[in-house]
A and B are shown apart, each in its own frame.
Chain A
Amino acid sequence: MSDKIQTIENLSIGFKSQNGREVSILKDISTHINKGETVGIVGESGSGKSTLALAMMGYTKQGLYTISGQCLFKSKNLLNMTDRDLEKIRGKEIAMIPQNAGQSLTPNLKIGYQIEETLKLHSTINTKDRQLKITELLYKVRLPSPNIMAQRYPHELSGGQQQRVAIAMALAGSPKLLLLDEPTTGLDVTTQAHVLELLNEIAKDTDTSMVYVSHDLGAIAQVSDRVIVMYAGEIVLDGDVREVLSSPLHPYAYGLLNSIPKLSLPGLPEAMPGTPPQLEQNIKGCCFFERCEFATDKCKNSKPELFIPKNKKMKVRCFWHSKLSDKQYKPNYDTHSANKTKKLDEVLKLDKVSITYTKQSILDQLLNRFSEKNITVKDIEIEVNKGETIALVGESGSGKSTILKSIAGLLNTKNGAINFKKNITLSSDVRNRTNSQLRAIQLIFQNPDESLNPSHTVQEILSQPLKLYFQLSGDKLEEKIIDLLKKVRLTESYLYRFPRQLSGGEKQRIAVARAFAAKPDIILCDEVTSALDVSVQAAVLKLLQDLKNDMGTTYIFVSHDLAVVRAISDKVAVLYQGRLCEFGPSSEVYKFPSHPYTEVLLGAVLEPDPDLKPVLTAEDRVEESPPEIGCSFQSRCPRVLGKKCFTETPPWQISKNGNAIRCHIKIENLFKQQTSEN
């Protein structure tokens, strides 16, 4: 073995619960990080991965303490060091890149100062050299005009830029070990791909060891040499990235990998049954016992040890790993039943809808004139047929949620009409809609924590729409609620629980049930799975698909995740800066020819395969507002033709497969260019 930079021995970290019992978050973790190696730690929320990363810096969050074990760095245990000694190591020898850079930068201090702080603390260079170093660091993380950047405050930067600043700050001490806690979560796909590329380069150039903590196997695959899979505070799998991702020997890792929707495989991913055990639960045997298809009594009563199976480059904590190595890793996907209804029944049509957030100037208001400037969303034309799932995709700021809100009547449109079932024009103000119009369109929000009233029980939450739209009461109401719970695969026992007593996936199921309670024609789904863990996401997607098949509901599905969209939708609309770029059947949109923006998006998607590298063609830059004339994608497009793109709005072109692309490049030429390059 090569030099170890950090060794973790039998580490357990936990807290005292309210009844005085010791509850451990990390259970007997032993591993090591080699010099120059990048280790990915993957696991779902609550698996203890972030706690482990922080422990590697000798830091435990408030309320947590070390129960046993040690973290050895240069043969000293970080967990019993004095604050004085730790201050010398933190930021210099070991540095952290936090998950949410926006909240991890002190709001009242300039970027330059925050980087300088690290330099001041951990090096002896003088003021003038420090300034040069700051510029150099900001340049290294590829921030435009570093000198101006250094004078900015954190809130003046975009999410991607803030993340880069956090990286620069971590690099300032030239650390031997970099800990990254979900560094790209919350960034747009293209930005994420760029940040990962940057990290890879840094790892290569500086020979820094990295620990990359993430729930996203796609990101882990791109950066790491080795993967550690964590489940319920334990390491269940630890080994070479290629081997782990191609033939995971632990049933949990296997299930996790299967539950990720992938671009290359259309259709819904397979969901893993069950939920992770509660922290307080005392588990004698294997912690994955309850959800495992191979589980036997042996698994229930004795804990498997982490060991290296013959001829393998990974450690596994499972008795039955051989069953998995025999079982060919061949995902068993539901074939996506694209809705092939005979008659196309239009339920919703957006007719040249434009929306703006900026207030119109007083002059324009007086003259009742519609200013063309700063329109957030412009000329959206989408037709939705009954039983279809239409997805709106795009990065943040693409206007996808804005469109959804205007369909729901929560946001006034400036121009255009929203037509429902051909002959009804929906008012753009929810207050002017009739009860039956309200019933017909329901919303499911991204974050079930915030969309469910915390002081209402499940029963109360579900009875609201039933009382409002169907005037149900008494036994009938009760019956209907239980029926709804069954539909979302929950039992009667959930009736009197409060949202806080439910897991994330269960909460989202309740939100789905609430939407279906109104028997709507259309359900608007706003990033419904992005707050959920992958395995839960797969289950919710499956549920939505099943309900749709049963009830013939129409979904309008907003997501930034192209793989999720591929899995669930029939048609896809790609948006950039509030303008439609491409619209068509999902099978076609994901094939060439594509709009250059779709191409950029697809290229940046991370697949859980270390050999599938993302293709980065366009710069990741944040545009404040869409350009006033010309193509909306003009300033980032890698295929700009010329003057035309900047002055003329591109025309719609329809390919022979039926997807519409809005581009100046002739569709045949686009196809030729794209197929020859890939």
Chain B
Amino acid sequence: MFLLILKRLGLGFITIFLVSVIIFTGVEVLPGDACTAYLEREAKGELLEICREQLGLNTPAIERYLSWSYNALYGDLGYSLSGEKPINEIISVRVRNSLILAVTAILIGIPLAIILGIVTALWRDKFPDIFISTFAIFSMTIPEFISATILILVVAIWLNWLPGIVIVSSNSTVLELLPNIILPVIAISMVMTAHMLRMVRSNIIQVMSSDYVQMAKLKGVPYWKMVFIHVLPNGLLPAINIIALTIAWLLGGVVVTEVVFNYPGLGRLVIESISDRDLPVVQALALILALIYVGVNLIADLLTLVVNPRLRTLQVRK
């Protein structure tokens, strides 16, 4: 068991390392460098030389990779060219903002998805299932930028209940942000919930038709007791991995939604720094996103190991 966790952790580190190499080489093989990209037309002569000197771009790539990754390891991601301040400073606020959005969406979306998934599975092909499932497929097929735009149109412009786009600055307090996140959260969790609901539903349906559920019925176990003791623990186990995937997916989903709502989060920062050609920030963001992706999946794997007795012992024996 302990060995297994170590193994998974090790694999996670290797993934991060490879990702960092890929990001670095990706930026490196692009024509030009951070200075030419940033200075644009003025990128010539003395100005370019000074910039390169300042950023240390004249040293060999390997040396730069080593110092970049070394600093990143200790939490220093470098210096933003357009913001003209340390990247850490810019990103930490944005991370907080995005986290507020993501966590709220997760806190609402996951329980909702699980409950609705169970309901649809237990009342399979009956009224609640048909109603919820249809709605789920509907919200799955509409891309977020459309549902977000419709939300803005209906709730903000026609009904005028909530602000349509976020106009507070990125470092405003949580309380100031709160009324602004309601619409983005709805937009994000609609798709997320629908995806998860479908998967939870099919898992539970599969368990309901298993031999051991039939056996429980034949033992005379009352229906609801059977559902809670025999069905749900087994039916929801795979949900852990689904949740992890969904959270990871959220990272990508957040970019679009943040841009539509003008929300000052990580996603918008990605777009901003790309259009500003702020390569050090792009590099740092890619690394952070990869880290979150790997981290979330690692946690899910470990959680499954802890919860599922079958995996626990089987893996050890082999």
Residues of chain A having any CB pair with chain B under 8 Å: 57, 59, 62, 83, 86-92, 95-96, 98, 100, 103-109, 117-118, 121-122, 153, 155-156, 169, 173
Contacts and interface: CB of A to CB of B under 8 A. Distances in A.
Interface string B193-226: 0000000000000000111111111111111000
A153 B217 contact: no
Nearest to A62: B209
A98 B211 contact: yes
23 contacts: A59-B218, A89-B220, A90-B219, A92-B220, A95-B219, A98-B218, A100-B211, A106-B212, A106-B213, A106-B215, A106-B234, A107-B310, A108-B234, A108-B308, A108-B310, A109-B229, A117-B221, A121-B220, A121-B221, A153-B313, A155-B314, A169-B219, A173-B220
A107 B212 contact: yes
B215 to A, nearest CB: 4
A108 B233 contact: yes
Closest 8 CB pairs of A and B: A91-B220, A90-B220, A91-B219, A103-B211, A104-B215, A87-B220, A106-B212, A104-B211
Contacts of B219: 90-91, 95, 117-118, 121, 169
B138 to A, nearest CB: 28
A385 to B, nearest CB: 39
A86 B220 contact: yes
Given A108-B308, A122-B220, 18 more contacts: A87-B222, A88-B220, A90-B217, A90-B218, A92-B220, A96-B218, A98-B211, A100-B211, A103-B212, A104-B212, A107-B234, A108-B309, A108-B310, A109-B229, A109-B230, A117-B229, A121-B221, A173-B220
Contacts of B214: 59, 98, 104
Contacts of B220: 86-92, 118, 121-122, 173
A95 B221 CA distance: 12
B310 to A, nearest CB: 5
Contacts of A96: 215, 218
Residue among B209, B220, B234 with the highest chain A CB neighbour number at 10 A: B220
B215 A105 contact: yes
Contacts of A104: 211-212, 214-215
B162 to A, nearest CB: 43
Interface in B219-264: 219-223, 229-230, 233-234, 237
A209 to B, nearest CB: 17
A531 to B, nearest CB: 18
A155 B230 CA distance: 15
Contacts of B211: 98, 100, 103-104
Given A59-B217, A90-B218, A98-B211, A106 B230 contact: yes
A91 B221 CA distance: 9
Nearest to A92: B220
A293 B211 CA distance: 40
B205 to A, nearest CB: 11
Nearest to B218: A96
Contact of B215 (A83, A88, A98, A155): A98
Contacts of A109: 229-230
Nearest to B312: A153
Given A91-B218, A103-B210, A107-B234, A83 B308 contact: no
Contacts of B308: 108
Contacts of B222: 87, 121
Contacts of A57: 218
A106 B217 CA distance: 12
Contacts of B314: 155
B309 A153 contact: yes
A89 B219 CA distance: 9
Interface in B268-318: 308-310, 313-314
A106 B208 CA distance: 11
Contacts of A87: 220-222
A60 B220 CA distance: 14
A122 B212 CA distance: 19
A83 B234 contact: no
A100 B214 CA distance: 12
A57 B233 CA distance: 27
A122 B217 CA distance: 14
A85 B273 CA distance: 68
A631 B4 CA distance: 35
Nearest to A357: B318
Contacts of A103: 210-212
Nearest to B223: A83
Nearest to A61: B214
A156 B215 contact: no
A118 B223 CA distance: 14
A169 B222 CA distance: 17
A121 B211 CA distance: 20
Nearest to A115: B219
A162 B41 CA distance: 77
A96 B220 CA distance: 11
A189 to B, nearest CB: 24
A610 B314 CA distance: 41
A79 B237 CA distance: 35
Contacts of A100: 211
Contacts of B237: 108
B310 A106 contact: no
B67 to A, nearest CB: 35
Nearest to A105: B212
Nearest to B219: A91
A41 to B, nearest CB: 17
B313 A106 contact: no
Contacts of B233: 108
Contacts of B229: 106, 109, 117
A107 B214 CA distance: 14
Contacts of B213: 106
Contacts of B309: 107-108, 153, 155
B309 to A, nearest CB: 5
A109 B222 CA distance: 17
A105 B210 CA distance: 10
Residue among B218, B310, B313 with the highest chain A CB neighbour number at 10 A: B218
A156 B237 CA distance: 19
Nearest to A90: B220
B223 A106 contact: no
A88 B309 CA distance: 31
A153 B310 contact: yes
A199 to B, nearest CB: 18
A155 B209 contact: no
A95 B215 CA distance: 10
Nearest to B209: A62
B249 to A, nearest CB: 27
A169 B220 CA distance: 12
Contacts of B230: 106, 109
Nearest to B308: A108
Nearest to B229: A109
Nearest to B314: A155
A564 to B, nearest CB: 28
Residue among A59, A103, A104, A156 with the highest chain B CB neighbour number at 10 A: A104
B142 to A, nearest CB: 34
A90 B223 CA distance: 13
A103 B216 CA distance: 12
A155 B310 contact: yes
A121 B310 CA distance: 27
A118 to B, nearest CB: 5
A598 to B, nearest CB: 30
Nearest to A93: B220
B26 to A, nearest CB: 35
Nearest to A87: B220
Contacts of B313: 153, 155-156
A104 B229 CA distance: 14
Nearest to A110: B309
Contacts of B210: 103
Contacts of A108: 233-234, 237, 308-310
